[in-house]
Structure 1
């Protein structure tokens, strides 16, 4: 799942190239030691002070700074560097705009790839309360997509997108494909659900995915934050019956994270991303200057697929670990810690998929947790962070946010969507 890293030679992008740019070589010498400090913005006071201290002690102002042994951080992307999930935002955009480069036969195989034939979680039953499994739902999507493929002018037909939007098959295709993604995630483990959604880019090359990602990101950044619902048409129940699914809408950039990453880099500290979203999507968001994060493309570690002649193949990249859960730690160790000889000084995350990398490196001085009031292992780390608020030299920091606005709050406490009361920990 990893693609590219500043570790001598670029790994996993289908080509070899020197990844240490002249800009990276000279960053330390270009920084004046009395410049470029973190902005307060909406950081909690405790977190702001701790992050400033980290930068002062480990950046170019630090007495032990070595430009040949640059310190680095590793951050999650979705719901850590941004508000909401870019992979999921792009999925709905891809569906609504029929951005696919597969034949009906190819999509049919992708839909079923690696999915057990068990019934989905009972929360995913159809409108009549009947269980649904991959065979039932995939057969309906097959039929919808065949109709779309033969009629849409972006494929083999002559009808416009607006014409297609009026059809029951279009509405059924979007609702049932989004329902399928949701059901896979609710029923099976992350090592099944996370790669599955990336297979929908099969047939595209890197530039096509990046162009699609930019359009989808721009669209989602302009969407209202909220929850939307889709229900398949009553007149086209198919094999699976009528199904409904809800999903989060809207993306937001986080000014605090934009400023943090740029400030770190300007102080001679490298920034890497380790994300469970597809690599070309994360590259687009993290590296395109228009989004103001400015993380170098070669510093993006994320989910990766096989490529043949630069075209994406719906197969997980051979020899790579999925960049979720323990796979994040394995990836960081393989491409960074083992090559550099030391671990990240800061790791940032928000969910269970980030717990391993938040805990596994002795060199980590700060584990920054975006507070989503979650339970489980990330809840346990959040409790450690909450117990340490106001103390010196703590490892875990908890940063609050407001889910109604998609912004950080100047507090460790968060406000959940459609709520007004702030909370510190999961209840």
Structure 2
């Protein structure tokens, strides 16, 4: 259950201090850090980090989404779910989107009377639970890949599924999820179900496990010691990132964390409304956050995927750190860019390795 306490605590766990940087990357960063704080400049130097798959291995937004599915931990009413699902008459991965949307709404309407009274375990035993959870996971995954929907739809959609929770509850939910995910193996788990025609059989998967990168934690502490301001700009819901950052011990003030936002009601309760005057923190939205909310342009930026492309190519950056997840798409064009510090991973254990190349 989500805690109702008011102050998230920091994890007592001391992360492995071993550093598996590609040596040239660490040397470049340390040489830069030795000189940057002595330069004459109007403001303190700034470093900006993506969070998911950059500071940590895995994605806090996706992990919370999975835990919501597995527990049917929802508070939004069926009418809210219907309002945030797309209504386009298109095919999604060869299946008619109107039928997918109708099935999601119908199954959730069956489950919700139990959820509203906290009878989640009873709801999970209903046949509609397997259909709803598998179809929602499949829909979200396919919508993210679809050119007509894509991350600009899916990222706010995932945040709006948290409607009804308070921002403080979400900070604690993130901590609960991190604690559980840290104990999981780094494997892929599959879900399958037989949806009614014309949808048919579907299967989808999600990754288990999550941990911080001790090298990134140590880097942030070095930056803090040298007076470099640290910011996080994430494509996960902002309050989830705040909880994970605090628990994992990253030295990032809460007001230096930017993520996906939704409109809030009184009492800091999430709604399904879009926030006014705030961009989706994806690609150009991340650059917009830097332009409009940060006091100065960053001299160090770190990311891992297409969502970070505009941030990683800002002309002011001295250090551009790219975690090599062997991604296709736009970000792959930076893998051979001489301005980029490409940091390799061992995907079998989710750890840095002393190479530019990624294995596993």
Equivalent residue for 2:56? 82
The equivalent position to 2:272 in structure 1, one of 310, 314, 328, is 314
CA-to-aligned-CA distance 1:188-240 (integer Å, 9 cap, x gap) = 232122211111011221012222222222222221111111112x4x63663
1:348–1:160 CA distance, 2 compared to 1 (3 A):
closer
Equivalent residue for 2:109? 146
Size of the aligned set, in residue pairs, is 341
Equivalent residue for 1:229? 190
Contact kept? 1:140, 1:239, Cα under 8 Å: no
Contact kept? 1:231, 1:242, Cα under 8 Å: yes
Residue 374 (str. 1) matches residue 327 (str. 2): yes
Post-superposition shift, 1:246? 1.6
Contact kept? 1:343, 1:361, Cα under 8 Å: no
Equivalent residue for 2:7? none
Q: Aligned equivalents of 2:82 and 2:51: distance in 1? A: 30
Post-superposition shift, 1:266? 1.5
Contact kept? 1:58, 1:71, Cα under 8 Å: yes
Equivalent residue for 1:137? 100
Equivalent residue for 1:347? 301
The equivalent position to 2:29 in structure 1, one of 26, 36, 51, is 51
Equivalent residue for 1:333? 291
Post-superposition shift, 1:47? 0.8
Equivalent residue for 2:13? none
SS at match of 2:335: helix
Post-superposition shift, 1:179? 1.1
Q: Aligned equivalents of 2:349 and 2:22: distance in 1? A: 17
Q: Aligned equivalents of 2:142 and 2:311: distance in 1? A: 27
Equivalent residue for 2:210? 251
TM-score by length of 1: 0.76
Equivalent residue for 1:207? 168
Q: Which runs of 5+ in 1 are unaligned?
A: 1-38, 123-130, 386-394, 420-427
Post-superposition shift, 1:405? 0.4
Give 1 or 2 for the bigger CA radius of gyration. 1
Q: Aligned equivalents of 1:104 and 1:323: distance in 2? A: 27
CA-based RMSD of the aligned residues comes to 1.9
SS at match of 1:283: helix
Contact kept? 2:78, 2:109, Cα under 8 Å: yes
Q: Show the 5 A alignment for 1:257-272.
A: 257-272=216-231
TM-score by length of 2: 0.89
